Amino acid sequence: MLDREKASGIVAEYKQEHIMKYFDELNEEEKEELLKQIEITDFSVLSNLDGNKENIARGTFEPLGAVTIDDISANSSEYIAIGTEAIKAGKAAAVLLAGGQGTRLGFDKPKGMFKIGVEQELYIFQCLINNLMDVVKLTGTWIPLYIMTSEKNNKDTIDFFEEKNYFGYAPEYIRFFIQDMAPSVDFDGKILMESRSKISVSPNGNGGWFSSLVRAGLLNDIRSKGVEWINVFAVDNVLQRICDPSFIGAVIKSGLQSGSKVVSKAAPEEKVGVLCLEDGKPSIVEYYEMTDEMRTLVNEKGELAYKYGVILNYLFNVAKLEEICDQKLPVHIVDKKIPFMDEEGNYIIPTSPNGHKFETLVLDMVHMQDSCLAYEVIREKEFAPVKNATGVDSVDSARELLKANGIKI
Residues forming contacts to ligand UTP in the complex (CB under 6 A) are 97-104, 148, 179, 203-206, 234-236, 359, 387
CB of 55 to ligand UTP, least distance (A): 18
- Secondary structure (H, E, C), 233-302: EECCECCCCCCCHHHHHHHHHHCCCEEEEEEECCCCCCCCCEEEEECCEEEEECHHHCCHHHHHCECCCC
Q: Which residue lies nearer to ligand UTP by CB, 100 or 282? A: 100
Q: Which residue lies nearer to ligand UTP by CB, 310 or 373? A: 310
DSSP 2: -
Q: Which residue has the closest beta carbon to ligand UTP?
A: 100
CB of 125 to ligand UTP, least distance (A): 11
Q: Which residue lies nearer to ligand UTP by CB, 23 or 107? A: 107
Q: Are 282 and 306 in contact (CB under 8 A)?
A: no
CB of 153 to ligand UTP, least distance (A): 9
CB of 148 to ligand UTP, least distance (A): 5
CB of 177 to ligand UTP, least distance (A): 11
Which of 239, 263, 217, 236 is CA-nearest to residue 97?
Answer: 236
Q: Which residue lies nearer to ligand UTP by CB, 236 or 244? A: 236
Q: Are 1 and 35 in contact (CB under 8 A)?
A: yes
In terms of DSSP H, where are the helices of 47-100? 69-88
Pair type for strands 145-149 and 174-178 = parallel
Q: Which residue lies nearer to ligand UTP by CB, 244 or 359? A: 359
State how far the alpha carbon of 190 is from the alpha carbons of 108, 312, 336, in Å. Answer: 25, 32, 15
Q: Which residue lies nearer to ligand UTP by CB, 101 or 354? A: 101
CB of 85 to ligand UTP, least distance (A): 29
Query: Residue 95: in which H helix or E strand, if any?
Result: strand 92-97
Which of 191, 169, 171 is CA-nearest to residue 181?
Answer: 191
Neighbour count for residue 225 (Cβ, 10 Å): 14
Distance CA 87, CA 194 (A): 45
Pair type for strands 145-149 and 92-97 = parallel
CB of 176 to ligand UTP, least distance (A): 12
CB of 383 to ligand UTP, least distance (A): 13
Q: Which residue lies nearer to ligand UTP by CB, 131 or 197? A: 131
Q: Which residue lies nearer to ligand UTP by CB, 157 or 197? A: 157
